């Protein structure tokens, strides 16, 4: 009888001990996700840029990124747009976005016909494996985009 | 706070030899921490406040030709590269501000060889 009661009490104790552990883990999860100063989701960022307009996938945009980034803190991104740069028909803006960082926006570049080519290159930080999106606004108000996924071995967003 | 502290920055024109009417690459590189506001300082253990470049303007002889809005997701010591059609002799100026209000600018003369 002693053994049985002992087992019972042990079972109860472990159950009691396990319950708060599970609760704590749940509470910790949102805390662990750090918040940046300008956090914005990808969908919200696209909506803010386009104002709800339709965005078409296009092969006019050449997005050059590495397939595997060993260091997420420095990922080179190059965007080239095959579009004329004339007085009334030019690439108005190139936006570089990511899909999973806290802040989905990286850079917004406003171009003018003086640039002569729709080209922009920079380096960005990526927190993990995700997609990089080049969203391009043309002077007639239409939006086109191209996306490429990057495998990130070590995240670079703090 | 850091207005007196001059940041190291550089404008590179590629290729080195160009003529009027040529399309060149204008690369702008600046030494800047680009802190996201999420990383801990290894020495003190406190979270570093966000400190990043937020606006950049490229201008030629005072006329802006490219403006950028930048967020903290851009790498430390960032570089920005755009194309530019050389209209003649002049000066390219890059003005940049960061979220702490720090203002800086860097210029480079364009000398096309005709």
* Cβ-contact B72, B35 below 8 angstroms: yes
Helix (H, G, I), strand (E, B) or coil at B66: strand
CB pair distance less than 8 Å for A110 and B38: no
A107 in contact with chain B, both atoms CB, cutoff 8 A: yes
pLDDT band at B77 (very low <50, low <70, confident <90, very high): very high
Mean pLDDT of all residues belonging to chain B: 89
The CA distance from A36 to the nearest CA of chain B, in Å, is 6
Mean pLDDT of all residues in A118-125: 94
Q: Give per-residue pLDDT as tens, B13-32.
A: 989 999 998 999 999 999 99
ipTM of model: 0.86
Q: Is the pLDDT of residue A31 over 50?
A: no
* Cβ-contact A82, A146 below 8 angstroms: no
Torsion of CA B67, B70, B76, B77, to 10 degrees: 10
What pLDDT is attached to residue A29? 45
pLDDT band at A98 (very low <50, low <70, confident <90, very high): very high
Mean pLDDT of all residues in B29-40: 88
Chain B (93-112) residues lying within 8 Å, Cβ to Cβ, of chain A: 99
d(CA A21, CA A118): 54
CB pair distance less than 8 Å for A122 and B79: yes
Considering CB atoms only, which of A38, A105, A123 is closest to B75? Answer: A123
Kind of pairing between the strands at A143-154 and B9-14:
unpaired
* Residue B37 with chain A: CB contacts under 8 Å: 36-37
Cβ-Cβ contacts under 8 Å between A and B: the total is 103
What pTM was estimated for this model as a whole?
Answer: 0.80
Q: Report the share of chain A in percent with pLDDT over 90.
A: 59
Angle made by CA atoms A13, A16, A17, in degrees to the nearest 5: 85
pLDDT band at A64 (very low <50, low <70, confident <90, very high): very high
CB pair distance less than 8 Å for B74 and A125: yes
Best A38, A76, A152 member to test B by mutation, with max B CBs in 10 Å, is: A38
Residues 6+ apart with CB under 8 A from B113: B17, B18, B19
CB pair distance less than 8 Å for A73 and B71: no
d(CA A137, CA A128): 27
What pLDDT is attached to residue A14? 63
What pLDDT is attached to residue B4? 44
Asked whether the bond before B15 is cis by omega within 30 degrees of 0, the reply is yes
């Amino acid at each position: 009888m002693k053994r049985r009661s002992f087992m019972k009490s042990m079972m109860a104790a472990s159950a009691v001990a396990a319950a708060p552990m599970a609760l704590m883990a749940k509470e910790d999860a949102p805390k662990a996700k750090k918040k940046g100063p300008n956090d914005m989701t990808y969908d919200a960022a696209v909506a803010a840029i386009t104002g709800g307009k339709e965005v078409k996938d296009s092969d006019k945009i050449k997005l050059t990124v590495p397939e595997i980034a060993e260091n997420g803190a420095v990922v080179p991104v190059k965007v080239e747009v095959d579009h004329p740069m004339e007085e009334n028909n030019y690439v108005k803006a190139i936006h570089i976005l990511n899909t999973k960082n806290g802040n989905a926006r990286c850079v917004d570049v406003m171009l003018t016909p003086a640039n002569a080519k729709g080209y922009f290159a920079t380096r960005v930080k990526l927190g993990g494996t995700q997609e990089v999106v080049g969203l391009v606004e043309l002077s007639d108000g239409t939006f086109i985009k191209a996306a490429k996924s990057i495998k990130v071995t070590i995240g670079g967003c703090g | 706070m850091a207005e007196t502290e001059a940041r190291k920055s550089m404008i590179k024109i590629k290729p080195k030899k160009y003529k009027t009417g040529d399309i060149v690459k204008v690369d702008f590189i600046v030494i800047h921490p680009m802190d996201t506001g999420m990383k801990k300082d290894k020495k003190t253990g406190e979270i570093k406040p966000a400190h990043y470049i937020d606006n950049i303007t490229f201008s030629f002889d005072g006329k802006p030709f490219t403006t950028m809005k930048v967020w903290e997701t851009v790498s430390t010591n960032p570089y920005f590269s755009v194309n530019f059609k050389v209209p003649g002799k002049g000066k390219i100026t890059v003005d940049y501000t960061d979220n702490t209000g720090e203002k800086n600018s860097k210029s480079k003369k364009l000398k096309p060889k005709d």
